[in-house]
Amino acid sequence: MVEIVKVGIVGIGHGRFGNRNDATVQELAFEPFKQAIQDAKNLRREDIDALVVGSVPEYHMQRSLPGVVAEYVGMNPKSTWLTEAACASGSAAIRTAYMAVKSGMHDIVAVIGVQKMRELSTDEILALMGRVGDVQWESIFGTTFPGYYAFYASRHMHEFGTTMEQMAQIAVKNHHYGAMNPNSFFQKEVTVERILKSEEVAFPLKVFDCCANADGAACVIMTNEKLAKKLNDSPVWFEGMGSASAAMSLLRRPNLYEIPSAVEAGKQAYKLANVKPSDIQVAEVHDCFTIAEIMAYENLGFCDKGKGGKFIEDKQSYIGGKTPVNVDGGLKAKGHPVGATGVSMTVEIVKQLRGIAGKRQVPDAQIGLTHNVGGIGQYTFVNILRR
């Protein structure tokens, strides 16, 4: 066995997120898969060893999703299975593919993050999503996803004086960049005033503080150091991989103003990549709600604890600021097809590091980070990539 030190990305693809009644789940999966193969140099589908599908299966009528996807995209008889870690399912798939390549078990692995959610009614989605929290002790009493993040927001406001205006500024930034991203669900700017006047979902969160359920898919093709240089002139490398868990039940968390799995996964990734938070030039973080992005700034060390509100107020997460964050629109503007999100984040970082992000390019970005939170923080995956 040859020792494989580095694992890189040689192909990327990204479908349009949003209402995709035009496509079945397998058709959604095919779009970015085809793009990713074409994005790589001289890669044939037959060269791909394995397919890892990141998805939350229960939102689909079709079960056994990797089976139908592998058949539809033409991957039989290659190895395939699905990974699930709630909203971080796509990052669990990337971590699996990383281990598959690094172990030498597979040479070239395709990761497809895919989700179709818009067929279900909001009530059905709310009920299913509430059960992503602890069923025995929490969701049985009626907790929902916006409710969980409303707890975080209230506590963050109480502890640190974070304001609803600051949360709204997250949405303003992300819709600003989302308007430049043709794959975004929403491609319009919004203002703080409009957000603050929008309907309340769960105090203090307004409708514009919440991301939208969406249909969508994204794909990355990963390989080892030896093959990467043949398959792409500018492969992007995984330098640090972090993965951690935290108590599912909020009752068992030490506090409600940070996500401990994010802090831990970040530490692991920084250590492996041997970089500091200030070295990150572009980041994709999990802004399922605006408060989540504020906590991410702090949990990842982009700013001090409690200073996340100030960080956005000072526009430090805009291009030109200290650490540009979610300059593709984030979950907020792109929409959040849960299984696809972690892969979508990774695709954007690859574009940024290759310098092909167009109007939303962070100048000369060489080190990027993805931060993908599952559920209410029971999982976080943090990866650091470098060109």
Annotated active-site positions, please?
A: 87, 336
66 near a copy of itself, rule: CB under 8 A: yes
Angle at 167 between CA 183 and CA 87, to 5 degrees: 50
Interface residue with a copy of itself among 10, 96, 153, 361 (CB under 8 A) is 96
Q: Among 1-9, 111-119, 216-224, 288-296, which window interacts with a copy of itself (CB under 8 A)?
A: 1-9
70 near a copy of itself, rule: CB under 8 A: yes
Q: Among 30-38, 48-56, 180-188, 347-355, which window interacts with a copy of itself (CB under 8 A)?
A: 48-56
CA distance 151 to 110: 37
Counting beta carbons within 10 angstroms of the beta carbon of residue 242, is it exposed (0 to 12), middle (13 to 18) or buried (19 or more)? buried
Interface residue with a copy of itself among 38, 62, 191, 255 (CB under 8 A) is 62
Q: Quick one: tokens of 134?
A: 């602890």
Counting beta carbons within 10 angstroms of the beta carbon of residue 136, is it exposed (0 to 12), middle (13 to 18) or buried (19 or more)? exposed
Is 384 strand, coil or helix?
strand
Phi and psi for 385 in degrees, rounded to 5? -120, 155
Closest to a copy of itself by CB, 53 or 333? 53
Closest to a copy of itself by CB, 22 or 233? 22
Interface residue with a copy of itself among 30, 40, 83, 326 (CB under 8 A) is 83
Give the pairing type, strands 108-115 and 216-224: antiparallel
Q: Quick one: tokens of 346?
A: 């990774």
Chain mean position to CA 35: 19
Is 258 strand, coil or helix?
coil
84 near a copy of itself, rule: CB under 8 A: yes
78 near a copy of itself, rule: CB under 8 A: yes
Residues 248-287 that bind a copy of itself (CB under 8 A): 248-249, 252, 260-261, 264
Counting beta carbons within 10 angstroms of the beta carbon of residue 268, is it exposed (0 to 12), middle (13 to 18) or buried (19 or more)? middle
Q: Quick one: tokens of 88?
A: 């971080």
> Taking a C-beta distance cutoff of 8 angstroms, is the pair 48, 78 a contact?
yes
Kindly state the number of chain residues that form the binding site for a copy of itself, as judged by CB under 8 A. Answer: 67
Q: Quick one: tokens of 308?
A: 């996340």
Q: Among 51-59, 141-149, 299-307, 323-331, which window interacts with a copy of itself (CB under 8 A)?
A: 51-59
Is 173 strand, coil or helix?
helix
In whole angstroms, how close is the CB of 262 to a copy of itself at the nearest point? 10
113 near a copy of itself, rule: CB under 8 A: no
Residues 227-246 that bind a copy of itself (CB under 8 A): 241, 243-246
Interface residue with a copy of itself among 23, 68, 120, 179 (CB under 8 A) is 68
57 near a copy of itself, rule: CB under 8 A: yes
The residues of the shown chain that bind a copy of itself, judged by CB under 8 A, are 1, 3, 5, 24, 50-51, 56-58, 61-68, 70-71, 75-86, 88-89, 92, 95-96, 98-100, 102-105, 128-129, 131-136, 241, 243-249, 252, 260-261, 264, 374-375, 378-379
